[in-house]
Chains A and B, each alone.
Chain A
Amino acid sequence: MKIGVLALQGAVAEHVRMIEATGAESAIVKRTEQLESLDGIILPGGESTTIGKLMREYGFIEELRRFAESGKPVFGTCAGLILLANRIEGQDEAHLRLMDITVARNAFGRQRESFETDLHVKGIDETVRAVFIRAPLITQVGEGVEVLSIYRDQIVAARQGHLLAASFHPELTDDTRMHEYFAGMVRESKATTAAK
């Protein structure tokens, strides 16, 4: 099982380390041709404007949409969540438009308002340590979207079928459970595809 990390900008190495901790093979993805060999992909934290721009420049928008539409799982953290969203507050254009969610960028404020806290995430026992850095929030979800975590009445993690999104950065801690959850989704999707 091979899980890639989109490596146009942002915290790539941290996700690679987490993927390997789950026992899966990892790949640093800079070109669209690499998508073919993957069973799932992580869109990392970084600057969504920068990553979105480079995705357009290198043809990743169409190819990642195709990747996700074939049923392969995608996990977006922080900037990655913004990339997945159908709608971005205050902007006319979204990026991948894969998940039926609306996001607000920098929803907690500037860097001095960045924080860490303990969170309950549905499907994961006990709390996880969540690091929020200039983090976005999910302000609206469509019908097919399952809310996985709420912080102070606001949505910070959600799942829609084979798509997973979190406002925070599980890759900045030593806790691999969010990545194991995603690896489980990839395993499931592989089994379903094989059965067909």
Chain B
Amino acid sequence: METGTSRVKKGMAEMQKGGVIMDVMNAEQAKIAEAAGASAVMALERVPSDIRAAGGVARMADPTIIEEVMKAVSIPVMAKARIGHFVEAKLLEAMGVDYIDESEVLTPADEVFHINKHEFTVPFVCGAKDIGEALRRIGEGASMIRTKGEPGTGNIVEAVRHMRLINSQIRKIANMSKDELMTEAKNLGAPYELVLQVHETGKLPVVNFAAGGVATPADAALMMHLGADGVFVGSGIFKSENPEKFARAIVQATTHYQDYGLIVELSKNLGTPMKGIDIKQLNAAERMQDRGW
């Protein structure tokens, strides 16, 4: 009997496919997410849009909140640790969370190194803007990748950019001659063995979800069409006027992303979505996606 094998950790992410993972700040929100059909919840103190508004240093949530959420629902519970903060990650593992997000939404603790995720039994998800970043995180032991998008903006444009770029880079690697792969690995800053694997399979070695800016059922369906295996929704649910309705509509639009008639119905009378921010209005210091490398 072996726990924490790569297959067990990646398998957990496989089981999330086609699902929606929702940010929640307390037990009550977690129950709403579970009842709406979320496949997992992310327990945190503040959703990204509140983190933006509050400013200052954003850290791992108070364990009380995470424990409260873990008690409230039977679906998996994820929680965020700061980039490079392996002690926060060890605390989350000790608490028994089902997945750790080494997340740029929190203020990074280390500006050079990410966490060595191979040393954990609990699986990790990490953000990526391009294939080099995705393969570096997988090389460090991440079992799931998500686009970074621009969290807390309700603006899908950056998630689309990341997903399209990763897809086109996969196609490029798949079509390369084997002779070209080592130089490509060097240029991408990615482990050669993983570049080789992408070349042979034509896909990422782990599942890839969309995150950062998903605010409507159509946003979720768009990301599924672009090849996302599932969707993370942060501020989009509990910063909307009617979280129950938004949560349910986004779950159904993710499952039936090709059924436009259904998505029309799901999108009617949802109330006001979260208020968005145009990326162009953010100055460089406010861009969370630039954290991590």
Contact = CB atoms under 8 A, between A and B. Distances in A.
28 contacts: A9-B39, A10-B15, A10-B19, A11-B14, A11-B15, A30-B256, A45-B15, A46-B16, A50-B38, A50-B39, A53-B37, A54-B251, A54-B252, A57-B252, A78-B15, A110-B96, A110-B97, A110-B98, A111-B97, A111-B99, A111-B122, A112-B4, A114-B11, A116-B1, A116-B5, A117-B2, A131-B7, A133-B8
Ranked nearest first, the 3 interchain pairs of A and B with the lowest CB-CB distance are A111-B98, A11-B14, A9-B18
B136 interface: no
Contacts, number: 112
B39 A30 contact: no
A11 to B, nearest CB: 4
B123 interface: yes
Given A111-B99, A112-B121, A79 B15 contact: yes
Nearest to A44: B15
Given A116-B8, A133-B12, A133-B15, 4 more contacts: A49-B34, A50-B38, A115-B1, A134-B76
A59 to B, nearest CB: 13
A179 interface: no
Given A12-B18, A47-B75, A50-B251, A113 B3 contact: yes
B39 A47 contact: yes
A150 interface: no
Interface of A: 7-14, 30, 45-47, 49-50, 53-54, 57, 78-79, 105-106, 109-117, 131-134, 169, 172-173
B74 A105 contact: yes
- Chain B interface helix/strand/loop/mixed: loop
A127 to B, nearest CB: 13
Contact of A49 (B3, B7, B12, B74): B74
Interface in B13-64: 14-19, 34-35, 37-40
Given A8-B255, A133-B12, A116 B7 contact: yes
